[in-house]
Amino acid sequence: MPELPEVETIRRTLEPLVVNQKITAVEILDRACVGFPDPQSFQQRLACQRVAGLERRGKYLIWELTRQPQPSGLVLVVHLRMTGRLVYKRADDPPDRYRRLVLRLENGDLVEYADLRRFGRLWLLSNDQEYAAAIKETASSSLETIGDGGPKGLWGLGPEPLAEGFSASYLQARCAGRRATIKSLLLDQEQIAGVGSIYADEALFRAGIHPARPAGTLDESEIGRLVDSLKAVLAEAIAHRGTTFSDYRDGRGQRGAFYDRLSVYGREGKPCPRCGSIISRGRAGGRSYRFCPQCQK
């Protein structure tokens, strides 16, 4: 599943290609990928919008739209979930086998949304505060009508781990008294935005912390190491344009190069890069994790 570094890489590769371009037409090949509103309204409202900016929040990609000269007040929110891809293509490039939706651009090129497993969603939302609040209120009671809880997940996100707001004192406050494992806390999007299993496992390895430790048992120095490790591994992964196991591609259809730099994730049965012990796999709190039994306590 694409995590923060992969979505950030997609954002960086797409941004120079789509910002200031007008979306001339929207083709929906699979109605299930449109989370909100209904596919027909989605198509009509998105056509003729100009891309004003491309942002990221957690694992969400946020297209800021304008209908010059007035701001349109609309944003296109994309969550790739397991196998979604958003790739910029020429009109005559071969379509992805799992193409679900196409944004045609005024220069003749297109952005293709493809998704093998079909868990990804696109929402066209008003960025008006009142409307956002209304969506938030209805989110828990009618997930189906507003689109699979995607907007709900977006509104409830915790701080960005690479921002200053994510600090040792912040994490310490979140860990205090918690019996849930530190791994599950790292994956909780309401506590920290954008971290998934790959980078949680890698950060815990670098910090020398066992993933199944109850969060409340971490001391101050461990929490400091964990915050530093998480920021470092995310920044390195972005610099290497993300991790590709099979499905993830950047905004130009290229694979990420961080795979070769993983220490524990996907390396069960292989030697620990630090001590040579065999990397193991465990399970706690409904989450599996990979770790070095020697290096992580």
Give the interface segment with Zn ion, choosing from 102-110, 176-184, 246-254, 269-277 (CB under 5 A).
269-277
Among 93, 123, 125, which Cα is nearest to 109's?
A: 93
Residue number with the smallest Cβ distance to Zn ion: 272
- Is residue 292 part of the contact set for Zn ion (CB under 5 A)? yes
Contact pick of 31, 117, 261, 274 for Zn ion (by CB under 5 A)? 274
- Is residue 278 part of the contact set for Zn ion (CB under 5 A)? no
Nearest distance from C-beta of residue 7 to Zn ion, angstroms: 30
- Is residue 288 part of the contact set for Zn ion (CB under 5 A)? no
Catalytic residue among 3, 64, 160, 222: 3
- Is residue 275 part of the contact set for Zn ion (CB under 5 A)? yes
Helices (H), the chain: 4-18, 39-46, 129-139, 143-146, 150-155, 168-175, 182-187, 197-207, 220-239
- CA pseudo-torsion sign 8, 244, 200, 288: positive
Among 267, 256, 254, which Cα is nearest to 234's?
A: 256
Q: Are 31 and 39 in contact (CB under 8 A)?
A: yes
- Is residue 270 part of the contact set for Zn ion (CB under 5 A)? no
Catalytic residue among 59, 213, 225, 249: 59
Peptide bond into 5 cis (omega under 30): no
Catalytic residue among 2, 5, 151, 161: 2
Peptide bond into 37 cis (omega under 30): yes
Q: What residue type is assigned to position 283 of the chain?
A: R
- Is residue 31 part of the contact set for Zn ion (CB under 5 A)? no
Nearest distance from C-beta of residue 273 to Zn ion, angstroms: 8
Q: Could you tell me the end-to-end alpha-carbon distance of the chain, in angstroms, rounded to an integer?
A: 27
Q: Is 214 a catalytic residue?
A: no
Q: Is 22 a catalytic residue?
A: no
Nearest distance from C-beta of residue 183 to Zn ion, angstroms: 17
Question: Which CB atom, from 274 or from 283, has the smaller least distance to Zn ion?
Answer: 274
- Is residue 281 part of the contact set for Zn ion (CB under 5 A)? no
Nearest distance from C-beta of residue 222 to Zn ion, angstroms: 17
**What is the C-alpha separation between 228 and 167, in angstroms, rounded?**
9
Residues at the contact surface with Zn ion, assessed by CB under 5 A: 272, 274-275, 277, 292, 294-295
